[in-house]
């Protein structure tokens, strides 16, 4: 098996929009996310949903296919969020690109709020601000570090610099041209877009995902996220 296995379920026309969903061990949630994203696509013309299964040991890929994803990219090994997004963006056929977290569930239906300003030419990159989750979301260290870093490097304070719910045009992606590894992907994109003079707009939405919580796996997740965020910021402080 090669590094990427691509299962295409077929579209009659080239998509105007690609919804890209990176997923790792999300067999219990990905079906609801894909189905809700599909419902949100009504009235938007040809939309493709691409799920990138990031080397999951469970049935994430099978669940995504059964739920109606147009394409499922199976990565032979886990590449982390940034790597999964890069693989998906390389395969995306749409001119308007939307990224969603795999655990949004029913709330994924809200993605058009992000796409509309891009389609109207009112923004180059939109970022979803999700409702607060309180103590279930952890201590917020990575978020505070990301806010501080983005503001220091660009002069702009973002409320949700780590949000995985985004929309941007293919032209914007070509201008940015890179994504950092792992959980540094979003904050790196923020800095690069703002430094390039692109119009970055945050939008409050009702989308919500599963908080990691104050558990051992939750702490491990946030530690990995913090390291990735700091590395992405450090690269840009060093002029990269």
- Kindly indicate the confidence band of residue 1, based on its pLDDT and cuts at 50, 70 and 90: very low
25-41, pLDDT tens digit by residue?
A: 999 999 999 999 999 99
**Tokens (6 digits) for 121:** 């030419």
Quick check: is 173 in a domain? Answer: yes
Q: What is the mean pLDDT of residues 135-159?
A: 87
At 2, give phi and psi (nearest 5°).
Answer: -75, 180
Q: How many domains does the chain have?
A: 1
What is the percent of the chain with per-residue pLDDT over 70, rounded to a whole number?
87
Contact between residue 204 and residue 117 where contact means Cβ atoms under 8 Å apart: no
Least confident of 50-59, 122-131, 223-232: 223-232
CATH classification at residue 121 = 3.90.550.10
Quick check: is 237 in a domain? Answer: no
pLDDT of 158 above 80: yes
Q: What is the mean pLDDT of residues 193-217?
A: 86
CA dist 23 and 130 (Å) reads: 19
Quick check: is 224 in a domain? Answer: no
Quick check: is 184 in a domain? Answer: yes
pLDDT of 136 above 60: no
Quick check: is 169 in a domain? Answer: yes
- Kindly indicate the confidence band of residue 239, based on its pLDDT and cuts at 50, 70 and 90: confident
CA dist 98 and 89 (Å) reads: 10
Which position has the higher pLDDT, 17 or 7? Answer: 17
Closest CA to 34 of 103, 128, 93, 133: 103
Quick check: is 145 in a domain? Answer: no
Characterize the bridge pairing of strands 166-169 and 125-129: antiparallel
pLDDT of 157 above 90: yes
CA dist 64 and 70 (Å) reads: 9
CA dist 147 and 216 (Å) reads: 25
The range of the structural domain enclosing residue 64 comes to: 4-134+159-210
pLDDT of 191 above 90: yes
At 200, give phi and psi (nearest 5°).
Answer: -105, 120
Closest CA to 7 of 70, 57, 94, 91: 70
CA dist 217 and 112 (Å) reads: 32
- Kindly indicate the confidence band of residue 11, based on its pLDDT and cuts at 50, 70 and 90: low
Quick check: is 43 in a domain? Answer: yes
How high does pLDDT run on average in the chain? Answer: 91
39-94, pLDDT tens digit by residue?
A: 999 999 999 999 999 999 999 999 999 999 999 999 999 999 999 999 999 999 99
89-121, pLDDT tens digit by residue?
A: 999 999 999 999 999 999 999 999 999 999 999
| Beta strand extents in 10-87 (DSSP E only) | 17-23, 47-53, 71-75
């Amino acid at each position: 098996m090669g590094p990427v296995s691509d299962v295409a379920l077929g579209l009659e026309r080239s998509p105007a929009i690609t919804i890209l969903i990176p997923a790792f061990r999300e067999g219990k949630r990905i079906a609801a996310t894909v189905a809700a994203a599909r419902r949100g696509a009504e009235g938007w013309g040809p939309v493709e949903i691409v799920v990138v299964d990031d080397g999951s040991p469970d049935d994430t890929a099978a669940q995504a296919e059964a739920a109606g994803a147009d394409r499922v990219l199976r990565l032979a090994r886990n590449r982390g969020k940034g790597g999964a997004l890069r693989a998906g963006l390389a395969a995306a056929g749409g001119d308007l690109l939307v990224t969603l977290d795999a655990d949004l569930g029913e709330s994924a239906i809200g993605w058009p709020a992000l796409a509309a300003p891009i389609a109207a030419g009112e923004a180059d990159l939109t970022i979803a601000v999700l409702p607060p989750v309180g103590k279930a979301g952890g201590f917020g260290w990575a978020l505070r570090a990301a806010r501080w870093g983005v503001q220091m490097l660009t002069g702009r304070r973002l409320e949700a610099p780590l949000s995985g719910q985004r929309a941007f045009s293919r032209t914007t992606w070509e201008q940015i041209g890179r994504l950092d590894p792992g959980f540094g992907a979003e904050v790196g994109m923020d800095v690069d877009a703002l430094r390039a003079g692109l119009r970055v707009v945050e939008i409050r939405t009702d989308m919500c995902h599963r908080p990691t919580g104050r558990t051992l796996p939750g702490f491990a997740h946030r530690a990995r996220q913090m390291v990735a965020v700091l590395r992405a910021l450090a690269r840009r402080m060093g002029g990269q």
